[in-house]
Amino acid sequence: MSQMKDCRGLNVTMSGPEALAAHEKLTNAYLGFRIETGECLKAALQADPEAPMHQAMAGYIFHLMALKPMVSRANAASEKATSLAEKRGNAREKLHAAALARWCLGDITGAADRLEALLLKWPQDVLAIKLAHYLHFYKGDVAEHRDSVARVMPAWNCSMPGYSAVLGMRAFGLEEAGHYEEAERIGRQAVELDPEDTWAIHAVAHVLEMQGRHKEGIAWIERNVDAWDGKIHNFAGHVWWHKALYHLELGQYDAVLALYDNRFYSDLSDDGLDIANASSMLTRLRIRGIDIGNRLEELAGVIIKSKLDEGLLPFNDLHYNLALASAGKLEAKSLSDRMVRDDHQTHWGSVYREIAGPISQGLVAYGTGDFKSASQALNRVRYAWSRIGGSHAQRDVFQQVLIDAAMKADDWNLANSLLAERAALKPNSLETRRQATKAATALAGKEQCASS
């Protein structure tokens, strides 16, 4: 076991060139959302199971899968990574092992802090950049999500492997913080450098979504599709979900359903992101009064079968809850109760109790037709729900449910206020204009009745 240099000049503890090559391949696969990531992980572990970074990567990837059966595997890998890093790892590898160990304890903040400490010294550690990017995103820390990548940029240049991936992260951090122009410029630069970089494609897709540039968005997703289609794991489904969002806003509902059936929920997947995409899109279609057939029933069946006791990410649990509540399933209430009563003294524990629990109560009320309670519950927490993580575009589904609930509760004052906010943020949204006209007419009628 010796200290070797990786392609970015970082010291890594590996048994030899074969192990190092497997490490580089795994890093590239992880960065690029490649379908072969699992195989690369197996190959790296086989090439050198004693390399601290291989065990750390195993633990990280098991956590990133956000599947309950993977938690014990992440814990086992973390123990090995810690022990190997202590015995023969370098200082950077020890910090990776420490970050993973905090993650295993549910201390997401502690994990992110250790990755950030690592990046102060080794800003070219692209794995740490990507992992911190993920954690800040799911913690809903918009400013840190943006600044984390800004801090490492001076250490990077276009001759370094992985530069376009770093640009893609920089673009997404900027986009979520509302710096759309700069995000688009950097995101497009990343895609020019690497047309297969779906994270950068996705960052620009978010800009186009937030700015209501729907036709451009469709063309943007289609532009480089031959470069990445079939090479990316289920994150590809999320990119297709973004295309469906543009079609939704343009009123092209057949195209939305075709993407749902063929691209982002074709196989009744039990993956958290796949279910979130599906739950969110079906809710948006139902609010618009579109016939979704038996898709919601099928989705609820998947959730009931395998997701009720997951409790790994509040963001995912809320999307399960949304689908169950909309489908009228009793399990929506038990899932909500579990979130409200979560007693873990962890970052996520407090997010479940303080934010996700109250949102879920609103969703359960929405599902039972108690629209007044639903709008009141959701309205109370709406300025805090970034703490469940995810993007503005994803969390927007809860805002849409809140507006729909206010309208169905005949609370036209609230509905008009919410729609005025939304129109200011999304001036190109046809659906917002349609709802705003309806709400303004209803409020005027109500006031006329009151005065006559």
CB 284 within 8 A of CB 241: no
Least gap, CB of 209 to Fe ion (angstroms): 8
Q: How far is the CB of 154 from Fe ion (least distance, A)?
A: 28
58 vs 208 by CB, closer to Fe ion = 208
Specify whether the CB–CB gap between 68 and 310 falls below 8 A.
yes
Runs of H (alpha helix) within 272-411: 272-287, 295-306, 314-326, 331-340, 347-351, 357-367, 371-381, 392-408
DSSP assigned state of 268: -
Q: Which is nearer to Fe ion, 256 or 405 (CB)?
A: 256
Kindly state the number of chain residues that form the binding site for Fe ion, as judged by CB under 5 A: 1
Site for Fe ion in 210-239 (CB under 5 A): none
- In the complex with Fe ion, the residue whose CB is nearer, 28 or 391, is 391
Expressed in percent and rounded to 5, the helix, strand and coil fractions of the chain are: 75, 0, 20
Residues 305 to 344: which contact Fe ion by CB under 5 A?
none
Query: What minimum distance in Å lies between the beta carbon of 201 and Fe ion?
Result: 10
Bridge partner residues of 11 (DSSP): 5
- Is the CB of 375 or the CB of 391 nearer to Fe ion? 391
Which one, 199 or 371, has the nearer CB to Fe ion? 199
Q: Judge whether 184 and 207 are in contact, CB under 8 Å.
A: yes
- Which is closer to Fe ion, CB of 62 or CB of 240? 240
d(CA 41, CA 98): 20
DSSP state of 232: B
Binding mask 376-405 for Fe ion (x = CB under 5 A): ---------------x--------------
Q: Pick from 221, 230, 323, 228: which is nearest to 270 by CA?
A: 323
> Shortest distance, CB of residue 130 to Fe ion, whole angstroms?
16
Q: Which parts of 1-20 interact with Fe ion (CB under 5 A)?
A: none
CB of 182 to Fe ion, least distance (A): 18
| Angle subtended by helix axes 272-287 and 392-408, to nearest 10 | 40
For the CB of residue 241, give the shortest distance to Fe ion in the complex, in Å.
7
- Beta carbon nearer to Fe ion, 80 or 238: 238
Structure tokens at 408: 């169905």
Considering the complex, what minimum distance in angstroms separates the CB of residue 180 from Fe ion? 14
Instruction: Using CB atoms within 10 Å of the CB of residue 240, give its burial: 0 to 12 exposed, 13 to 18 middle, 19+ buried.
Output: buried
**Cβ–Cβ contacts within 10 Å for residue 87, how many?**
11
Six-digit token string for 377:
């519950």
Q: What would the x/- binding string for Fe ion be over residues 342 to 381, using CB under 5 A?
A: ----------------------------------------
Q: Give the distance, in angstroms, between the CA of residue 344 and the centroid of all CA atoms in the same chain.
A: 22
Q: Please report, as residue ranges, which positions from 133 to 162 form the binding site for Fe ion (by CB under 5 A).
A: none
User: What angle separates helix 392-408 from helix 430-451, to the nearest 10 degrees?
Assistant: 30
- Residues 19-48 touching Fe ion, rule: CB under 5 A, are none
Q: Is the Cα torsion angle 50, 51, 54, 55 positive or negative in sign?
A: positive
Q: Shortest approach of Fe ion to residue 280 CB, angstroms?
A: 10
Q: For residues 210 and 302, which CB has a smaller minimum distance to Fe ion in the complex?
A: 210
CB of 88 to Fe ion, least distance (A): 40
Nearer to Fe ion (CB atom), residue 83 or residue 429: 429
CB of 32 to Fe ion, least distance (A): 17
**CA–CA dist 392, 210 (Å, integer):** 8
Applying the rule CB under 5 A, the residues between 167 and 206 that interact with Fe ion are: none
Least distance between Fe ion and beta carbon 69 (Å): 26
Question: In sequence order, which residues have a C-beta less than 8 Å from that of residue 163 and are 6 or more positions away?
Answer: 156, 157, 193
Closer by beta carbon to Fe ion, 82 or else 391: 391
DSSP state, residue 9: S
Tokens read off for 177: 């913080």
Cα 276-279-281 angle, rounded to 5 deg: 100
Cβ atoms 223, 258 nearer than 8 A = no
| Residue 47 or 208 with smaller CB distance to Fe ion | 208
Nearest residue (beta carbon) to Fe ion: 391
Interacting residues toward Fe ion by CB under 5 A: 391
